[in-house]
Structure 1
Amino acid sequence: MTKLISIVSPCYNEEANIEELVARVRKVMTGLPYRYEHIVIDNCSTDSTVAKLRAMAAEDRNLKVIINSRNFGHIRSPHHAILQSSGDACIWIASDLQDPPEMIAEFVAKWEQGYKLVMAVKPVSRESKLTFAMRRAYYRFLSQISEIELVPNATGSGLYDRQLIQLLQKVDDPYPYFRGLIREFGFEAATVNFEQPRRMRGVSKNNLYTLYDIAMLGIVKHSKVPLRIMTIGGFVLSALCIVVTVLLVVAKLMFWNHFSVGIIPILISIFFFAAIQMIMIGFLGEYIAQIYVHLRKLPLVVEAERINF
């Protein structure tokens, strides 16, 4: 039997892009010798996205739709959709068209060469230069401290073999950092480079908080380095405080009438150590928050409706 390719596209308020996305995926898959299913998971859109998906699904049995009961966020919803795929390979393509669906053919070509993991990489992007520079700096930093080898500038889009999907289904992680999780299994990754275009229609659903959420998730999920820095830093700062204290006491004893410490150094020291403590407590809070999420054992999403499954 002809192999089945699953295409997964998460969306939220993408009424301006969803029809073109489905059409471009259909066009690419028509030119490939595979059966396919296109799973679009809607994160409880408030615009006409769902209505358009219903209309298209009524005419195209290859289009399968999952409608969430509420917005479950940008991490949980895509991961749930990937786990629902049934193809011999699963391809994740974003619904904002910034990761062009035409890359699907390149993903499949790499898969046919024997790669079980193919990742889209954007060495060049037409987004804000400052944003792109900050992303590159973050991924470079994460690669340095991570316990696994990450793929720099990977967007998340790519192809994942059925064997990899089955491993993901065994992982009980209610809030995964997907780009890191798929590297935990040790499969060699092929890459497809592309120049990421600007978003043509609609607005990005990412904001400063969601970007911070993804950044911290990548750090606490795949590195213990911040915890080790806290411990080592505590020892170093303690030793430094002891040395400075001894020097001040000696200076005061030797130059009793002429040496005045004053209150300014004390205030600076208090604010400095308070800032260090707040940063450390913040990192500890991030790790504790991940433990809390795991202990709650909530489902990734709750589905309100399925179409064409």
Structure 2
Amino acid sequence: MSYKIAIVTPLFNDWDCLYQLVEEIRTVLSPTQYSNYRIVVVDDCSSLEVEKEKLAGHPVEIIHLNKNLGHQKSIAIGISYLNKSSDQDLVVVMDVDGEDKPEHLLILLNEVIKSNANEIVFARRTKRKESFFFKIFYKIYKFIFVFLTGKVINFGNYSVIPKKLLDKVAHISDIWNHYPGGVIRSRLLYRSVGLERGERYTGKSKMNYTSLVIHGLSAVAVYIDTVSVRLLIAVSLLILTAILGVSLVFLFHYSFPFWGLLLFFGILMQAFLSTLILVFTVLSYRVNFNFLPAVHFQDYIQAIEKI
């Protein structure tokens, strides 16, 4: 049986990576049941021009955005565009730089087929080739994410979405900020497959530590209502612990300056009230109109170019 495949990849100035990626995708998919594929490149307002002759003969479409939005919003636009304008059995989301290996496409696609196209399948990184400090910060990020949200996130964008779930994904407002986090929160069926991360084709990554922090905070922001309530509970427990500790101080007649107690409780109460305000702000925001990528993505498309 033959399947129609669409591959979404966000891009910002990484045209040299794209030229190599399309060649590798052709090598991997052409001899298989997934040979009927198309590649949708979401150009995130690049300052460099594409060399179209290097893409000649490849089934490539380029969506040019009218402003730089970042790779997560570019992914949301690509998914929404495919949901609106085309008919495919499976949609692949992958990065353009080679770190999402094209040879892993067959593994991910076959895993979705095995599930009767009922699940989204993500690539979970089994090996990371970043620096020691990056790995440490990444582990800290995962711990903080679990603590604040109660969820585990151990995969990135590389994934395959079956046709029956594409419309639901496109209507998840949270994918505008963080695609994997939005899918997790949506409670759609998903799972991950352990795959090794590839090496970048050429050039240097645009992601610096600041960008990575913003990316991590975007994932946490998807769960802002859960995070705010958890922070409120944590601060409340801290206040109760402090009250218990002060009670023991007075019970056993330990000396402790009164101004110190006032300052300590003042800081705790300020934290409690700030968190409480955050909870009410988040809860009031939930009744407002949500941004839906499936509906509003066209506002950011400047032009669509077929190679």
TM-score (norm 1): 0.77
Secondary structure in structure 2 of the residue aligned to 1:66: strand
Cα drift, residue 89 of structure 1: 0.2
Give the letter for the 2:47 counterpart. Answer: T
Secondary structure in 2 matching 1:124:
coil
Q: Counterpart in 2 of 1:39?
A: 40
Shift of 1:28: 1.6
Which residue pairs with 2:305 in the alignment?
A: 307
| 2:67 is the alignment partner of 1:70 | yes
2:201 matches 1:204: no
Larger Rg: 1
Alpha-carbon distance change, 198 to 17 in structure 1, aligned in 2, over 3 angstroms: same
Confirm whether residue 166 of structure 1 aligns to residue 162 of structure 2. Answer: no
Q: In structure 2, do the counterparts of structure 1 residues 304 and 289 end up closer, same or farther at CA, with 3 Å as the change threshold?
A: farther
Give the structure 1 partner of residue 128 of structure 2.
125
Which shows bigger deviation, 111-120 or 63-72?
111-120
Q: For 1:1-309, list aligned pairs within 5 A.
A: 2-33=2-33, 34-48=35-49, 51-52=50-51, 54-57=52-55, 59-60=56-57, 62-85=59-82, 86=86, 87-114=88-115, 116=117, 117-143=120-146, 146=149, 150=152, 152-173=153-174, 175-183=176-184, 184-191=186-193, 193-222=194-223, 224-240=225-241, 242=243, 261=257, 265=260, 269=264, 273=268, 276=271, 280=275, 287=282, 299-300=296-297, 302-308=300-306
TM-superposed CA distance for 1:96, in Å, is 1.0
8 A Cα contact 1:92 1:156, kept in partner: yes
Secondary structure of 1:84's counterpart equals helix
Change over 3 Å in CA distance of 1:199–1:234 after alignment to 2: same
| Residue identity (%) | 16
Would you say the 8 A contact 2:225–2:282 is kept in 1? Answer: no
**1:273-304 deviation line (CA, Å, top 9, x unaligned):** 49946984897699589869965779346111
Aligned-pair CA distance for 1:94: 0.5
Q: 1:177 to 1:292 in 2, by over 3 A?
A: farther
Residues in 2 aligned to 1:206 and 1:8: alpha-carbon distance in whole angstroms: 19
Alignment CA distance shift 1:292-1:89 (3 Å)? same
Task: Report the 3-state secondary structure (helix = DSSP H, G, I; strand = E; otherwise coil) of the residue aligned with 1:118.
Answer: strand
**Which runs of no fewer than 5 residues in structure 1 stay unpaired?**
none
Uncovered stretches (5+) of structure 2, i.e. residues with no partner: none
Count of residue pairs brought into register by the alignment: 296
Q: CA deviation at 1:189?
A: 2.1
Shift of 1:186: 3.6
Q: 2:48 is matched by which residue type in structure 1? A: D
